[in-house]
Amino acid sequence: MKTEDETVQIGTEGCTGLITLNRPEALNALTRPMVLSIGEALTAWEHDPAVRQVVLRGAGERGLCAGGDIRAIHADAKAGTTGSLAFWRDEYRLNARIARYPKPYVALMDGIVMGGGVGLSAHGGVRIVTERSRVAMPETGIGFVPDVGGTYLLSRAPGELGTHLALTGTAVGPGDAMLCGLADHYLPSDWLEEFTRELAAGPVAEVLGEFDRVSLPAAPLAAEREWIDHCYAADTVEEIHRRLLATGLPAAREASQTLHAKSPTSLKVTLAALRRARALDSLERVLEQEYRVSSAALSAPDLVEGIRAQVIDKDRRPRWSPAALVQVREATVERYFAPLGEGAELTFSN
């Protein structure tokens, strides 16, 4: 089983189905054909008794997946077209499917795992990080909002850790990824090749037992819980800023400075999305909400400008509109959650 352009390599080794994201020059950034290929493989293997489990990995040494192909999203948004909606619809359906997959789905979260890469991995049943893992949902820095089920995962992290990560876009290492519920197991990166070979012959539960002989990595955020939980429990981004500065702690001050660089609109919408996600009872309901939010973001000015500043021109000087939190009206935030109309929503059967 192979894809036409080889951006995803699909195959089997023994009792394991292997999915390899194969765009290493683009940090395995995800495209719609890649999403569709992964879905087709999962369908075939779900009904194949010879395949007992599935492994997701990334080609190259830099990471599993840096997210969606945001250059394509930028071109779409700039042109005022809506091709990205089809991509997100398929991607979010795949995220939900991964979470409900009936066979063990093993994600090797080595290196950079961001945005869409989190969606492909962190909903899996067996999520493995390494000493090289850097896991993040950095969307507020490009004028977007965490998606791919990211608001579901982060809204359910301990305390307000998820709010901190969602608003600041901070990348965490293996220990903090496990602390925040984004990963389950830790293996040194130089063990992954042998680990994958062993999976060809046996079930992942048994193979993990054979490799479970390393100490868990430190989770630095655990020591920061007191100020994080206090500051990010606030009802508004403005109050979060105020509390961060009032602590007098260098780490909190740094977080405040980080927030100042993000899209004010994205920050307010992200906070609202997280709070609403906590009240929703399933990943599917959250993905439906995220689709509304992403659809609104596609026609908002900050997405085009954020990608331009961070990825296209790389001047790192986005000109957000509006430029300040106080200028972001509540009605603007609410627009991101408004119904899309009959036939335009993302829906799930359950």
The residues annotated as belonging to the active site are 68, 116, 139, 147
Q: In what order do the strands lie in the sheet with 112-114?
A: 63-65, 112-114, 134-136
Alpha carbon distance 288, 271 (integer Å): 17
Q: Are 37 and 73 in contact (CB under 8 A)?
A: no
Beta-bridge mates of residue 19: 10, 56
Beta-bridge mates of residue 185: 128
- Compute the residue count for the chain: 350
The separation between CA 100 and the C-alpha centre of its own chain, rounded to angstroms, equals: 17
Looking only at the bridges linking them, the beta strands covering 134-136 and 126-129 are unpaired
End-to-end CA distance of the chain: give it in Å, rounded: 30
